[in-house]
Amino acid sequence: MVKTVAYCHPLVPCEWIESHGLRSRWIVPRDAEASAGAGSLTGMCPYARAVVDSLASSDEPSLAVLTTACDQMRRGAGLLAEDRPDDVFLLHVPKTRGTPGSRAYYGDELRRLGRWLVAGGGNASTADRLAEIMARRAAARDAFRRGETPVETPSWCNPIAAALAAEMNANDSQGAALGLVGGPLRQRDLAVARWIRAAGGRIALDATCGGYRTLAGPIDPAAVARDPFEELVRIYFDHIPTIFERPGDRLYAWLAGQVAARQVRGLLCLRHVWCDLWHAALPRLKETAGVPILELDLGDEDHGGESRLRGRLEAMIESLSHPEPR
């Protein structure tokens, strides 16, 4: 039986996992509130907590790759490793950009991941196999970028982002075009898309973690033929704009460009409660995006927060629905 490797961050290349003869799966966590264990951790991001709970309570024999992209997830990996030290791999994703050392470090971390996958039951990756899988995944991502909805649950992005794309494609409203930005979506967060549709708006951009923004870049076939691993590093580390990188200008520039290109009239920053990175980014986003931004805290809906979130969202769409002054 082929082992599954679960992960939940866009800087973990699914092609690399699959080239070791293993199956990759982006974790769609159940809500932490539904389970015990780490659910009692005050101050822990609900997404990180849900991921930890899901992995800890999973009956499926699987490996998990978590990253240091945020401190909460890094420490979540520590919680998991208490009971299953051999089943959890913590990938250090360098935060600094523009230095030769950080890029090389990312490549070294992927090689270390490869050795761990082999030790965990995978096969050694070969250049040919990696190149073949990269081509297949790149084609799937290209189709997704063109607006096609994946037929099968994708392993190369957050499946919730794929479900969101289906919702975006099905919504032919001419209402205010909104963009979503922020952390990774959970199943329950799709409610936001339904609220937007009900309020007469539509989603024109998914810039959440695991969605369109964090897709690996298009491949250069010649570069893949020459050195697929080096091309893998390029399409991930060099291409994906992230919230945690320092300096952080690339994300803001990317977002401003997308807002203009897709004629987005307002942005919703979907932030899991206790996520410091997105919360602190909000003032800069407001300065650079060029459109109004509304922050929605995800994670407290069960405590009467849903109607508050929905009310804020409806008010934003209403305020954006008037024609723009010429």
CA distance 266 to 274: 23
Residue ranges in 184-223 that form contacts with another protein under rule CB under 8 A: none
CA distance 279 to 168: 26
Q: Which of 11, 14, 90, 157 binds another protein (CB under 8 A)?
A: 90
Q: Which of 84, 115, 136, 262 binds another protein (CB under 8 A)?
A: 115
Q: Does the footprint of another protein cover residue 72 (CB under 8 A)?
A: yes
Residue ranges in 22-41 that form contacts with another protein under rule CB under 8 A: 38, 41
Q: Helix or strand or coil: residue 283?
A: helix
CA distance 240 to 217: 7
Q: Does the footprint of another protein cover residue 78 (CB under 8 A)?
A: yes
Q: Does the footprint of another protein cover residue 84 (CB under 8 A)?
A: no
Strand partners, 296: 270
Measured in Å, how far apart are the chain's first and last C-alpha atoms? Answer: 62
Q: Does the footprint of another protein cover residue 82 (CB under 8 A)?
A: yes
Pick 7 or 244: Cβ nearer another protein: 244
CA distance 58 to 50: 12
Residue ranges in 238-277 that form contacts with another protein under rule CB under 8 A: 244, 246-248, 273-277
Q: Which of 61, 84, 86, 99 binds another protein (CB under 8 A)?
A: 99
Residue-wise burial string across 127-137, b where 16 or more C-beta atoms lie within 10 A, e elsewhere: eebbbbbbeeb
Nearest-approach distance from CB 266 to another protein, in angstroms:
19
Q: Does the footprint of another protein cover residue 281 (CB under 8 A)?
A: yes
Residues 6+ apart with CB under 8 A from 270: 180, 181, 182, 183, 185, 189, 192, 208, 296, 298
Nearest-approach distance from CB 305 to another protein, in angstroms:
15
* Contact residues for another protein, defined by CB under 8 A: 38, 41-45, 68, 70-72, 74-76, 78-79, 81-82, 90, 92, 94-96, 99, 101-102, 105, 108, 112, 115, 244, 246-248, 273-277, 279-284, 287
